[in-house]
Amino acid sequence: MSNVAENLTDKVRETAHREAAEYTQGEDRPLAGYTATMGTYALTAAALVAASRLMGRRGPAAVPWADLALSSLATFKLSRLIARDPVTSPLRAPFTHYDGLTGPSELHEEPREDSTWRHAIGELLTCPFCVSQWVATGFVSGLVLAPRFTRLAASTFGVVAVSDFLQFAHAAIEQATGEAK
């Protein structure tokens, strides 16, 4: 690498460290891990666009309301399943610590602190709001790349989300009427 490139790299690195220190105000925040996560998301989105182009697929001018509603419901359910469900805890375990239950069939986990990367991924995987961006990207891209399969998969998660709501409603009615066991 030339001296100019090395100097520029050093200057960028110094500036990034200074800005990070100013931003965090002494708190331990995994900014490098967040940056890597954002980069991974951007590369994934770019790869999905490239795949659609290679397949000769174009995104629709507008997403039909039915697909939008179905994908929204499916994104909600799959995001909670990834971020909180006990069955998916082995996926989160390398990045989190178990910290108890948060509700019916949902776990509370905390991100690991032993590395910037594991902490950032742990925060992503334990936050249904954060995971939903990735899940929604998958569903929306799937509507372009494989619409029939995507609608089938989204329908499964949508049905489970409605079923969950009905289970909670049923339990609330039983409790309110004194029929709960």
CA 77 to CA 167: how far, in whole Å? 14
| Residue 180 pLDDT | 66
Q: Report domain extents, the chain.
A: 28-177
Give the percent of the chain with pLDDT over 90.
76
Q: For residue 64, what is the DSSP state? A: -
Q: What pLDDT score does 1 carry?
A: 61
pTM for the structure as a whole: 0.85
33, 117 Cβ separation under 8 angstroms: yes
* Residue 22 pLDDT grade (very low, low, confident, very high; cuts 50, 70, 90): confident
Percentage, residues of the chain above pLDDT 70: 98
- Which pLDDT value is given to residue 181? 62
Q: What is the pLDDT of residues 27-76, one digit of tens each?
A: 878 888 999 999 999 999 999 999 999 999 998 999 999 999 999 999 99
HSE toward the beta carbon, residue 52, CA cutoff 13 A: 18
SS3 1: coil
Strand-pairing partners, residue 103, are 106
Reply yes or no on whether the pLDDT at 13 is more than 90: no
**pLDDT band with cut points at 50, 70 and 90 for residue 82:** very high
